[in-house]
Amino acid sequence: RRTYHDDMAKVLYTESVIQARVSELGRQIAQDYQGKAPLILGVLKGSFMFFSDLVRAIEPCPRGLTLDFIRASSYGSGTESTGEVKLKTDLRREKVEGRHVLLVEDIVDTALTITTVSRFLLEECGAASVATATLLDKHERRKLSYRPEYTGFVCPNEFVVGYGLDFDEEYRTLPYIGVLKPECYSHLGIEAPEPDGSGESGDE
Ligand code: PRP
Ligand code: MN
Ligand code: MG
């Protein structure tokens, strides 16, 4: 019986490495947001696992901290962004205005998603500030310049899954982050990502 674990070419970040880093980020965020009553906003679906671990690590918890979620998606069933980010949310100005918002993402890649979400919060909802905590930063692939305030790991340009990250909606529940074997997507005509420097980044 072939399990999801067998589909990994390698494990990039083990469960314990992730948990240790999440604890550090949580403590840092707790310090930075004392007295700011932050709104912690998870970008679904990819952030669900990082979000639930991170909020428990925000210790001591700033008073007035509240949670919410926004749905953003740009990737179809392939590995490439379609370039168009769709937001689904019931967040309105009355919930966000004047709040210090911390966006939680599993990965910032081209930065189209995070840019779209933060623009929505600042321009449509009147957030007092917007910052981002992302577990992974694949900054080689930027199309828009964006520097997250909190980053777990700078991630190589490989096809990563697990800990919330999916391929065609699968693999999200793995407690670690691994690189998918090319044989798992080559039948769809998708090529493995090119290593370093071949992308169209260049704004770093
Ligand atoms: C993925 C990931 C980020 C975004 C990053 O979400 O969770 O939200 O792409 O890519 P970008 O920086 O190039 O915009 P996806 O659209 O696959 O939806 P999902 O979270 O439901 O998987
Ligand atoms: Mn996402
Ligand atoms: Mg996805």
Instruction: Give the CATH number for residue 17.
Output: 3.40.50.2020
Q: What angle do CA 106, 112, 114 make, to 5 degrees?
A: 45
Ligand 2 center to residue 166 CA distance, Å? Answer: 9
Tell me the pLDDT tens digit for each residue of 169-183: 999 999 999 999 999
Report the pocket of ligand 1 as residue ranges, CB < 6 Å.
43, 45-46, 72-75, 81, 105-114, 166
- Is 199 a member of any domain? no
- For strands 81-88 and 66-75, give the pairing: antiparallel
Which range among 77-81, 104-108, 167-171, 176-180 shows the weakest confidence by mean pLDDT? 77-81
Q: Under a CB-based contact definition with an 8 Å cutoff, are residues 100 and 128 in contact? A: yes
- Is 202 a member of any domain? no
Crossing angle of the two packed helices 15-32 and 48-57, in degrees rounded to 10? 60
- Where are the alpha helices (H) located in 80-189, listed in sequence order? 93-96, 112-119
pLDDT(76) > 90:
no
* Single-letter code of the amino acid located at 173: T
Looking at the structure of the chain, the number of domains it has is 1
- Is 195 a member of any domain? no
- Is 163 a member of any domain? yes
- Is 196 a member of any domain? no
- Is 18 a member of any domain? yes
Between CA 100 and CA 103 the distance in angstroms is 10
Domain carrying residue 15? 4-188
Closest CA to 11 of 148, 153, 196: 153
Token output for 160: 């990563």
- Is 198 a member of any domain? no
Q: Interface pTM (ipTM) of the complex?
A: 0.98
Ligand 1 center to residue 111 CA distance, Å? Answer: 9
